[in-house]
Amino acid sequence: MSADQSPKIVIVDESPIRAAILEEGLREAGFTAVVHISEMQGLLARIYALDPDVIVIDLENPSRDVLEQMFQVSRAVRRPIAMFVDQSDAASIQASVEAGVSAYIVDGLKKERIKPILDLCISRFNAFSKLQDELERAKSALEDRKVIDRAKGILMKMKGFTEEEAYVLLRSTAMREKKKIGEIAQSILTASEMLK
Amino acid sequence: MTGALRIGFIPLVDAAALIVAVDNGFTAAEGLDVTLVREVSWSNVRDKLNIGLFDAAHLLAPVAIASSLGIGHVKVPIVAPFNLGINGNAITVSPALHAELMTNLEGDCFDPMATALALARVVAKRRKDGAEPLTFAMTFPFSTHNYQLRFWMAAGGVDPDEDVRLVVLPPSYMVDSLASGHVDGFCVGAPWNSIAVDQGRGHILHFGSDILGHAAEKVLALRQNWAEKNSDVVAALVRACARAADFIEQSRAEAATILARPERIGVSVDIIQRTLDGRLTISRDGTVRASARYLLVGREAARPDPVQAAWLYSQMVRWGQTPLSADALRTAMGVFRQDIYEAILGPAGANVANDGIGAFAGPPFEPTDIAAHLKAFKVGRWKA
């Protein structure tokens, strides 16, 4: 790799969405040589065939241990690779592990060149987690709403409440019991199921 | 005393004492509030312990040493005041390779020297026929699995770096890789060998204890500086693990039920029970082999032995992972903190092997002269 060329980056990730987000970010930042590997069978052989300068892998991937082999000197390993660890930069290791991503570099690649790649991976991984959390929250909000609607229906039927009155009762009970309104609604559903 | 701890583990049977200590309330009884975090790779366990996301971990014994020496990764001094497992690995081969080995075997199939020589004949024949070299998998470069596999092959004259392919594979991929033919054999801990046999995809060739009578496998690992600042927490954790180790000895069935839970090891109670009993089905035809030394997770396994650490270090030297140095040897031996264990629990635990290792080949291990010891082995990367 010459100094002005974009380093070749391999992304090892079984999540196609996260890999796409990362790939897009890297391309936008000018790293054009990016390859995504999603198949873990024969991983090392594929990596050697691609001969990358940087390898990025997510921490949920058991194959991280396969990459550790690349630090070893043996016949199976043709080009020694090191994990991106900078003893002086504990914060960056912390940030990367917390974000759930890890980067490996070919020996000799300058720290200044890997740092922006790693920073970008960290921010994209964090963005992906946030997206996932939001999706989870939206899903559970939707679930809650369904449960609340059913609980309201039960209260309306059994107590002759209007929808408004049923909701007020759910909400005031939730406040009194210091619980979420969805939890109160769920307990009404459970109780009515048991009393059937 | 700060009682809230996060402890990482890999779903393997040798995490038994740690899991039972938490799930059976022994850590809570010591005033500790432990959250066990199941991990997917040893790299993750190591890194999260190193940077403090974990306070303690179920860790490969050689990783604790490599971390303390800064081999292959960041240098973070680790202490191991409690041994979670002795032995417990096995070498499993595909039914095809097993048949080939048995054809070439002269002697007892449970004698590792006889099978290593058979392997050497198979390897030579494949080379002559122009066939692809055999591929063997193990779990991590710094693992007892790696060193056991290498020790066994090399005793028969097979160079693990030249004559076969030796690759790292996550335990959960081993069985599939054997079935698909990507690997011909592997060395891994429980329950994976039994799973391969149960699925009809593998034959257990050797228990790890055939190769080394007494091998430190997993330790309870803590960062040295953290352990020094939190000695009362360490003592409480060690006491809880010791109680759990006793419990496992006395109530294996109950322990197996705890360990089998999906959020812990997540395999059938039966497989875990067989593992704890050292009674393994080794072949598709249902042949059972029993050994009381297959896996030790009770109190007899618990006391750290610096001689074990020295042996693991000697293998790192033998296979070119690190140069030999007296300082490094001292550091390695200092990772296995027998002194902390004995200060908390008193002296206990007999080591059956005379030299502390009980290897099937070579001279008795001599931790005071590793250079002389390694010279006795023909195959290796280390040169005097």
Boundaries of every domain in chain B: 4-88+215-268+297-350
Given its phi and psi angles, is residue B328 left (phi above 0), alpha (psi -120 to 50 degrees) or beta?
alpha
Both structure tokens of B118: 């058979």
Asked if pLDDT for residue A78 goes beyond 60, the answer is no
Asked if pLDDT for residue A130 goes beyond 90, the answer is no
Position A3 in a domain: no
What pLDDT does residue A84 have?
58
CB contact under 8 A, B41 and A87: no
- The answer, for B43 touching chain A at a CB cutoff of 8 Å, is yes
Same domain (yes/no): A97, A52: yes
Confidence of residue A4 (pLDDT cuts 50, 70, 90): low
Same domain (yes/no): A129, A142: no
Domain boundary among A84, A118, A133: A133
First CA to last CA across chain B, in angstroms?
49
- The helix (H) or strand (E) run that includes residue B296 is strand B295-296
Same domain (yes/no): A39, A129: yes
What pLDDT does residue A2 have?
46
Q: Which of A3-7, A42-46, B333-337 has the lowest mean pLDDT?
A: A3-7
What pLDDT does residue A45 have?
84
How close B154 comes to chain A (CA, Å)?
A: 15
pLDDT > 70 fraction of chain A, expressed in percent and rounded: 87
Position A157 in a domain: yes
The residue that leads in pLDDT, A131 or B18, is B18
Position A169 in a domain: yes
Q: Are strands A101-106 and A81-83 parallel, antiparallel or unpaired?
A: antiparallel
Q: Which residue has the tokens 């019991």?
A: A177
What pLDDT does residue A1 have?
47
* Identity of the residue in B47, B166, B172 whose CB atom sits nearest the CB atom of A62: B172
Position A78 in a domain: yes
First CA to last CA across chain A, in angstroms?
73
Name, in order, each residue with C-beta under 8 angstroms of A169's C-beta and a sequence gap of 6 or more: A155, A161
Asked if pLDDT for residue B187 goes beyond 50, the answer is yes
Rounded to a whole number of angstroms, the CA Rg of chain B reads 20
Q: Which residue of B51, B158, B166 is the best one to mutate when testing the A interface, meaning the one whose CB has the most A CBs within 10 A?
A: B51
Same domain (yes/no): A129, A158: no
Are B139 and A65 spatial neighbours (Cβ–Cβ below 8 Å)? yes
- The answer, for B375 touching chain A at a CB cutoff of 8 Å, is no
Q: Which residue of B6, B37, B42, B44 is the best one to mutate when testing the A interface, meaning the one whose CB has the most A CBs within 10 A?
A: B44
What pLDDT does residue B355 have?
86
Both structure tokens of A167: 């909701």
Q: Taking residues B280-297, what's their average pLDDT?
A: 94
pLDDT > 90 fraction of chain B, expressed in percent and rounded: 92
What pLDDT does residue B310 have?
98
Number of domains in chain A: 2
ipTM: 0.89
Instruction: Write the CATH number of the domain with boundaries B4-88+215-268+297-350.
Output: 3.40.190.10
Are B320 and B227 spatial neighbours (Cβ–Cβ below 8 Å)? no
CB contact under 8 A, A97 and B170: no
* Identity of the residue in B51, B75, B139 whose CB atom sits nearest the CB atom of A97: B51
How close B224 comes to chain A (CA, Å)?
A: 17
Asked if pLDDT for residue B223 goes beyond 90, the answer is yes
Position A158 in a domain: yes
Position A152 in a domain: yes
Same domain (yes/no): A93, A171: no
Asked if pLDDT for residue A142 goes beyond 90, the answer is no
- The helix (H) or strand (E) run that includes residue A160 is none
Same domain (yes/no): A117, A145: no
Phi, psi angle pair for B214, to nearest 5°: -145, 95
CATH number of residue A177's parent domain: 1.10.10.10
**Structure-derived torsion over alpha carbons of residues B309, B311, B312, B316, reported in degrees to the nearest 10:** 130
Asked if pLDDT for residue B276 goes beyond 90, the answer is yes
Position A160 in a domain: yes
A59 is in which domain, residue-wise?
9-133
What pLDDT does residue B313 have?
98
Confidence of residue B344 (pLDDT cuts 50, 70, 90): very high
* Structure confidence by residue, pLDDT tens digits, A79-110: 556 555 555 566 777 888 888 888 887 766 67
Report CA-CA distances (Å) from B69 to B76, B144, B298.
Answer: 8, 17, 29
Domain boundary among A133, A159, A182: A133
3-state secondary structure of B7: strand
What pLDDT does residue A80 have?
53
Are B155 and B361 spatial neighbours (Cβ–Cβ below 8 Å)? yes
C-alpha–C-alpha distance, residues B240 and A56, integer Å: 39
Q: Which amino acid is at A128?
A: F
Asked if pLDDT for residue B1 goes beyond 60, the answer is no
CATH number of residue A70's parent domain: 3.40.190
Alpha helices in A6-110 (DSSP H): 16-28, 43-50, 64-68, 90-99
C-alpha–C-alpha distance, residues A195 and A187, integer Å: 12
